[in-house]
């Protein structure tokens, strides 16, 4: 009790009175696996609590049978040897579609085809010397020009499977690459596009030309012209329409994001795109003409075409103002995410994904395995 004066006393509340959840000290003696660690971290503070909450929401999202889950990945995650985490998520049915940078896919194909990346230490060699020897530096990791040169042959082999002059989108190229990898790799060898092909999961690369993958496509077209053949025509809007049709068919949608950049925003803007079709296109009131779906708008629920779940792992803070740091709350103002007040569930872990992602994913994997066992 606090006395203001002799005749007026204010009550001091306990915390529980207003429904606040108490925190608990992290006791590692009680932790035997990643599942239990994430559960305990949920009752701590700061980044640890965010990680624990992310594991909860990710598990709920990927086990919700009504939810179409999109995984978006940027940064050099495959060169950083996180590629098998994506394979795990695909193989376990945690994601239904994937959006990536071209660079991440390029390094992933290098990795999947059995080529190697190498550690780099600052005092080993200057960047000038690295350039002269064909080593491309990614912070503390080296990609080899030889890897990329060898990969070009595989990419051209896949592109040659299309008809000269054919119009293609990135998800179609990636599908054929996945089929090619199945024929080339041993059954035990894992690769992102191989896993995606086996699970019939589309992989989109919105900024396709911003990568070695895209440059090899351009070189292939140059060779086509030199030999008197028609060039392939790349249509990025084919990806947009394909992804939109899948999104619109789902009852709910969720997004799991590593990093930010184009993959994250491209996947998010599908909700505003549907709004534009609805309100600006003369035929927008009847999108069945586009997507062959009966009554897709569900007029009684205006929020049904937004993301209902979201988990983001990214080190960029919101105050820099870029899309990589854009919060889910900010995205709600654009109509991309269902507000929390309407039932939206989100977790944002401001951390290096190479640290946080393995812990979160392993915790969720263990929970799913335990539930299956029980």
Q: What is the pLDDT of residue 163?
A: 96
Q: How far apart are CA 231 and CA 326, in angstroms?
A: 39
Supply the pLDDT for residue 80.
93
Rounded Cα distance, 35 and 56, in Å: 10
Given the structure tokens 């915390």, which residue do they identify?
Answer: 15
Distance CA 137, CA 5 (A): 69
Distance from CA of residue 271 to its chain's centroid? 17
Say what percent of the chain tops pLDDT 70: 91
DSSP 245-263: HHHHHSSEEEEEEES-HHH
Strand partners, 97: 70
Write out the residue limits of the CATH 3.40.910.10 domain(s) in the chain. Answer: 103-199+208-235
pLDDT digits over 343-352, tens only? 899 999 999 9
284-332 pLDDT, tens per residue? 555 555 544 444 434 444 445 789 999 999 988 888 887 788 888 888 8
- End-to-end Cα separation, the chain, in angstroms: 49
pLDDT per residue as tens digits for the range 322-341: 778 888 888 888 888 888 88
Pinpoint the alpha helices (H) of the chain. 34-41, 46-63, 83-91, 102-112, 127-133, 145-159, 170-184, 192-198, 212-226, 236-249, 261-268, 270-279, 288-291, 328-333, 353-373
d(CA 113, CA 148): 11
Model pLDDT for residues 65-118, shown as the tens digit of each residue = 999 999 999 989 999 999 999 999 999 999 999 999 999 999 999 999 999 999
Q: What angle do CA 161, 155, 143 make, to 5 degrees?
A: 170
The architecture in CATH of the region 103-199+208-235 reads 3-Layer(aba) Sandwich (3.40)
Which pTM was predicted? 0.90
Q: What is the DSSP letter of 320?
A: G
């Amino acid at each position: 009790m606090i006395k203001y004066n002799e005749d007026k006393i204010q009550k001091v509340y306990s915390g529980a009175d207003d429904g606040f959840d108490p925190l608990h000290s992290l006791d590692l003696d009680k932790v035997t696996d990643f599942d239990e660690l994430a559960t305990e971290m949920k009752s701590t503070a700061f980044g640890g609590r965010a990680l624990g909450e992310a594991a909860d929401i990710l598990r709920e999202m990927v086990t919700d049978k009504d939810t179409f889950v999109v995984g978006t990945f940027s940064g050099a995650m495959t060169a950083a040897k996180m590629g098998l985490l994506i394979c795990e998520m695909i193989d376990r049915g945690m994601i239904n579609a994937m959006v990536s940078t071209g660079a991440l896919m390029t390094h992933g194909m290098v990795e999947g085809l059995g080529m190697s990346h190498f550690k780099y230490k600052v005092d080993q060699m200057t960047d000038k010397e690295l350039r002269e020897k064909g080593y491309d530096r990614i912070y503390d990791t080296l990609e080899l020009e030889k890897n990329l040169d060898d990969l070009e042959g595989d990419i051209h082999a896949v592109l040659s499977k299309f008809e000269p002059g054919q119009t293609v989108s990135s998800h179609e190229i990636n599908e054929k690459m996945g089929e090619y990898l199945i024929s080339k790799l041993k059954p035990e060898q894992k690769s992102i596009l191989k896993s995606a092909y086996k699970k019939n999961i589309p992989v989109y690369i919105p900024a396709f030309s911003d990568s070695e993958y895209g440059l090899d496509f351009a070189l292939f077209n140059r060779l086509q012209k030199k030999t008197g053949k028609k060039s392939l025509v790349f249509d990025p809007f084919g990806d947009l329409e394909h992804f939109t049709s899948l999104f619109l068919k789902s009852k709910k949608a969720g997004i799991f994001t590593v990093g930010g950049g184009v993959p994250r925003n491209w996947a998010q803007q599908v909700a505003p795109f549907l709004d534009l079709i609805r309100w600006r296109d003369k035929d927008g009131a009847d999108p069945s003409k586009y997507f062959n779906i009966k009554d897709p708008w569900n007029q009684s629920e205006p929020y049904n075409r937004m993301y209902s779940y979201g988990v983001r792992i990214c080190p960029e803070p919101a105050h820099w103002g870029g899309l990589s740091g854009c919060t889910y709350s900010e995205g709600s103002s654009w109509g991309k995410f269902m507000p929390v007040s309407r039932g939206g569930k989100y977790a944002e872990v401001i951390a290096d994904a190479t640290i946080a992602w393995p812990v979160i994913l392993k915790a969720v994997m263990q929970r799913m395995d335990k539930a299956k066992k029980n």
